[in-house]
């Protein structure tokens, strides 16, 4: 299962989280966010990881393709996550400007079943979808879960991640109900915005191991 821990700000925490089992780390490139990091801060984290096999995802919202491409180049990102109101045309244009092999993820804030139809529309212009909880004033990191019942039959035909209020306490229930191919956590494993709680991260991976073993036994 793909596991992305988002809102990374500290180089030493990034190494510890990667060692615990994260397959992707997310960096918030939105200046208004309390988890915001600059391109040079991302570069410092990447240097601390020393080539560890983990995806490095920059998170952007309603910005320009030029800013995104610069962050990819300076920060050494392997992927970009679009968390604003980016159109299909914007995603397509960005894909043409990014270096080959850089992953594009599109976040969809799910309020109703109709939002899942919108998610499917992006399959042709992005590599991966991310389903997050809807909040009227915040783009992410809200700690709120979305309605997992909406996702029981969700199959967009491309890779996707479940986000929105996931914690070590509810992750087993989420996996049992939704069976997502990947998950994304931020506030659910934090002491404060941008400061990860490594004990919670370790608990998360312990719970994930139990869930995966349980699903394997049922298969």
Residue 133 CA to residue 175 CA, distance in Å, equals 16
- Cα–Cα dist 71/74, whole Å: 5
Q: Summarize the confidence of residues 166-179 as an average pLDDT.
A: 95
**pLDDT tier at 142 (50, 70, 90 boundaries)?**
low
Residue ranges of domains in the chain, CATH in brackets: 2-218 (3.20.20.70)
pLDDT tens-digit profile of 78-99?
999 999 999 999 999 999 999 9
- For strand 55-60 and strand 79-82, is the pairing parallel, antiparallel, or unpaired? parallel
Whether residue 45 has pLDDT greater than 80: yes
Q: How far apart are CA 209 and CA 26, in angstroms?
A: 22
Mean pLDDT of all residues in 138-165: 82
Provide the pLDDT confidence category of residue 136 given band limits of 50, 70 and 90: very low
CB distance 127 to 103 below 8 Å:
yes
Active-site residue flag, 115: no
Mean pLDDT of 121-140: 79
The pTM (predicted TM-score) of the whole model is 0.93
pLDDT at residue 152 above 80?
yes
Q: Residue 24 burial by CB count (10 A; 0-12/13-18/19+): exposed, middle or buried?
A: buried
pLDDT computed for residue 145 by the predictor: 86
Residue among 69, 132, 184, 195 flagged as catalytic? 132
Q: For residue 214, is pLDDT > 90?
A: no
132 given a catalytic annotation: yes
The mean of the pLDDT values for the chain is 92
What's the rounded Cα separation, in Å, for the pair 18 and 203?
14
pLDDT of residue 134: 59
Task: Pinpoint the alpha helices (H) of the chain.
Answer: 11-20, 39-49, 65-75, 88-97, 113-121, 171-178, 198-218
Active-site entry in 6, 29, 91, 184: 6
Segment 105-129 shows an average pLDDT of 91
Of residues 216 and 130, the one with the higher pLDDT is 130
Gap between the Cα atoms of 182 and 169, Å rounded: 17
Structure letter (DSSP) for residue 99: P
CA angle 1/80/96 to nearest 5° reads 120
């Amino acid at each position: 299962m793909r596991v992305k821990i988002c809102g990374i700000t500290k180089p030493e925490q990034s190494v510890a989280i990667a060692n615990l089992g994260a397959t992707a780390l997310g960096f918030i490139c939105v200046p208004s966010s309390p988890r915001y990091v600059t391109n040079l801060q991302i570069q410092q984290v990447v240097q601390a990881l020393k080539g560890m096999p983990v995806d490095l995802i920059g998170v952007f919202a309603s910005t320009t393709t030029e800013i995104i491409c610069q962050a990819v180049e300076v920060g050494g990102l392997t992927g970009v996550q679009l968390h604003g109101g980016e159109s299909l045309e914007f995603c397509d244009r960005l894909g043409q400007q990014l270096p080959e092999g850089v992953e594009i993820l599109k976040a969809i804030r799910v309020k109703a079943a109709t939002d899942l139809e919108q998610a499917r529309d992006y399959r042709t212009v992005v590599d991966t979808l991310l389903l997050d909880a809807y909040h009227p004033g915040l783009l992410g990191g809200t700690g709120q879960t979305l309605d997992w019942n909406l996702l029981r039959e969700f199959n967009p035909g491309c890779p996707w991640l479940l986000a929105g209020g996931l914690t070590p306490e509810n992750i087993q229930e989420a996996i049992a109900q939704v069976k997502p191919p990947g998950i994304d956590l931020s506030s659910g494993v934090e002491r404060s915005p941008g400061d990860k709680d490594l004990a919670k991260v370790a608990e998360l991976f312990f719970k994930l191991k139990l869930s995966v073993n349980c699903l394997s036994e049922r298969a």
